[in-house]
Amino acid sequence: MSPAVLIVDDSLTVRMNLHEAFEADGFSTVLCATGEQARRAFQEADFDVAVLDVMLPDADGVDLLRELRALPGRENTVTMLLSSEADVADRLLGLRTGADEYVGKPYDTGYVVARSRQLLGEVREVVDPRTTVLVIDDSVTFRERLRQLLEPEGYAVLTAGSGEEGLRTAADRRPHAVIVDGIMPGIDGATVIRRMRLDPALRDTPCLLMTASDDYATEVQMLEAGADAFVRKQQDLAVVLAKLAAVLRTSAEQLPIEGIGSLHGPGKVLAVTAERTRLELWGDALRADGYDVVAATGPDDALDMLAAQPVDCIVLGLGARASETCRRIKEIPQIRDTPLVMTGDKDDALLECLAAGADDYVREADGADTLRAHVRAQIRRKQSLDESRRIREELMRRELDAAGERAARQLAETRAALVEELEWRNRELEAFSGSVSHDLRGPLQIISSYAETVLDEEDEPLGPETRHRVERIHAAAGRMADLVESLLILARASRGELRRRRFDLTETAWQVIREVEAREPGRKIRFTVADAMTADADEGLVRVILENLLNNAVKFTRKVEQPVIELGWNGPGDDVRYHIRDNGAGFPEGKAGQLFRPFARLHSAKDFPGTGIGLTTVHRAVERHGGEIHAEGREGEGATFWFTLPPDGRGRQAM
């Protein structure tokens, strides 16, 4: 969909001039002659850009701008003010009120259109999927002949009637190729090509130069100017198609670097001098190249303008305070890189100006063409530097991306090696577990059985000292068997596939409690379990968690007269926490982290015997689910163990 522009100006000539320029560039237009019509259009019309005259018979353009900005949905509409009142104070008022651009009259229509597209962010937008060819020729007839030749072949055709217009169109629309007439009023085809070759944004655009001349020297001259191909108008036009296809086929592919502006795009020059006559002369000279010229009569106005809106180049008249003004501009970091050209009537002022910080000096006696050329050269130099900087940044970015990819590959390779090593170690652990299970259990069983047989022997009773020693052997074998069993449980909790499903945790808890009670039938413990508890987890591992925590609670409430053990949760939801609480011996404050270390003890093994592996097993089983566990308690006041079992994919990654 083509963008639309609202044009508000009481001059019919201005309205039609802008209407034709915008429509030729693909815009649709809405025209208004008064403030009343503009206000109606604000409410009813659909537009992307508003071009407002500052001085209307029934309204002020700045007031209209305020009204437009206040309307819902119009806060970000691109807005441009046009006015014959182009002093710095007027410009600053418009810009500070909310205008995106302020253009003084007389204006260049090409600048207004190109600047509108630039503000819309459409300078680089591809509006036609076809290959675009720009035809620059002062003959309307020949332009149409080329259009009729190219469009049936699938090309999109843009046209321009002069070299100056062609450069602006190329800067605005970025064609894939240019066909330019060699001889035209104003700048000729060779000059057009030379300027394109000096433009960072256009230098790689293929150019065909056409001429009616049969002179061989002309062909050499045109090719040396930078043309990619040369075609005589008297030749069959099929030659144009063939050479165009050839240059497009071999055209250079540019780096995808954002933000390179064209030398011939919409440019703004700040002219600074106290002499009004010189400002008018500079303005006329620079507008001929399509620049919008901002006139400032003093350094303060110039600095205020630069603070409000950047410019592409500064022209500073040589005078009593010129060197000081130049230094003040160059001392400001945000604008110090803006090219600054000083001009005056002294022949020997070049060194003085360069010492003050100026980038160039032009004698007024050299004329307007020289000033334009120096301004173009400085803008070109600045854009070339910007292009080089962007290329370096792009290459650095690519190198950083490549380095990141290399690092990622190395990390993946290292990780794969570690995973492989971990799998190997897990296999070794499984082999060791099997060895423990079969090789150690057997001898321990034999030792325990022989000791038990000796202790029960009635025919040859043991003496007190011997019996004591055999009882110690039997007890040690039993402890060793328990330790082996605990290590096997820990190994099983640390590996194997999780088989998650949602199950009734309350029912599982009561099953474990009945098993615990059966091991100590003589004890009276009050168990409480919350109703309707559920968990999305591996039921086998959860049973291991409950067995170890409940056995732990039973063990540490052994010296309590009325032991109470509670198993509960904080209810169904997204962040479920379970807990097992007892009123037993507790543990010293500040040492909760030590509970989950293998073989760690916070109490005497004589008072509370055990292997020291149970809570380590619980910690590992909870981690396998991606959950967390922590303990709270005080010595002599019981303990509470909190743990989480987040659903699959929501917990932290299991180790």
Residue 33: CB atoms within 10 A of its CB come to 18
**pLDDT of the residue at 654:** 39
Helix axes 35-44, 61-70, angle to 10 degrees: 20
- The residue from 366, 396, 424 where one domain ends is 366
Residue 422: CB atoms within 10 A of its CB come to 10
Identify residue 492 by its one-letter amino acid code: R
**Residue 429: both structure tokens together:** 């652990």
How many Å apart are CA 261 and CA 387, to the nearest integer? 9
> Where do we find the tokens 């409430």?
557
Greatest Cα-to-Cα distance within the chain, rounded to the nearest angstrom: 138
CA proximity to 639, closest of 600, 603, 613, 597: 603
Query: Is residue 502 located within the same domain as residue 636?
Result: yes
Percentage of the chain lying above the pLDDT 90 cut? 23
Residue 451 lies in a domain: no
Residue 137 lies in a domain: yes
Query: Is residue 211 located within the same domain as residue 288?
Result: no
Residue 397 lies in a domain: no
**pLDDT of the residue at 435:** 66
Residue 595 is part of a domain; what is its CATH number? Answer: 3.30.565.10
End-to-end distance of the chain based on CA atoms, in angstroms?
55
- The residue from 316, 344, 366 where one domain ends is 366
Query: Is residue 79 located within the same domain as residue 139?
Result: no
Counting as low any pLDDT under 50, the low residues of the chain are 122-126, 254-259, 652-655
SS3 state of residue 631:
strand
Residue 114 lies in a domain: yes
Per-residue pLDDT tens over the stretch 101-117: 898 877 888 888 888 88
Residue 652 lies in a domain: no
Query: Is residue 169 located within the same domain as residue 54?
Result: no
Residue 365: CB atoms within 10 A of its CB come to 10
Query: Is residue 210 located within the same domain as residue 330?
Result: no
Query: Is residue 139 located within the same domain as residue 43?
Result: no
SS3 state of residue 294:
strand
Q: Which domain holds residue 584?
A: 498-643
Q: CB-hemisphere CA count at 13 Å for 421? A: 6
Query: Is residue 286 located within the same domain as residue 315?
Result: yes
How many Å apart are CA 324 and CA 328, to the nearest integer? 6
Residue 412 lies in a domain: no
E-strand ranges in 304-448 read 313-317, 340-344, 360-363
Query: Is residue 112 located within the same domain as residue 166?
Result: no
Residues 477, 447 contacting (CB under 8 angstroms):
yes
Residue 257 lies in a domain: no
Helix axes 109-120, 12-24, angle to 10 degrees: 50
Query: For 523-528, which contacts have Cβ atoms below 8 Å and span 24 or more sequence positions?
Result: 523/554, 523/558, 523/563, 524/563, 525/554, 525/557, 525/563, 525/564, 525/565, 526/562, 526/563, 526/564, 526/565, 527/565, 527/566, 527/567, 528/564, 528/565, 528/566, 528/567, 528/568
Query: Is residue 577 located within the same domain as residue 522?
Result: yes
Say which residues have a Cβ less than 8 Å from residue 485's Cβ, sequence separation at least 6.
none
User: How many domains in the chain?
Assistant: 4
Identify residue 430 by its one-letter amino acid code: E
CA proximity to 266, closest of 292, 286, 294, 284: 292
Residue 103 lies in a domain: yes
- The residue from 196, 222, 249 where one domain ends is 249
Query: Is residue 8 located within the same domain as residue 112?
Result: yes
Residue 26 is part of a domain; what is its CATH number? Answer: 3.40.50.2300
Q: Which residues of 90-127 are buried (b: 16+ CB within 10 A; e: fewer)?
A: bbbbbbebbbbbbbbeebbbbbbbbbbbbbbebbeeee
Query: Is residue 83 located within the same domain as residue 141?
Result: no
Query: Is residue 233 located within the same domain as residue 279?
Result: no
**pLDDT of the residue at 124:** 40
Count helices and strands (H / E) in the chain: 20, 22
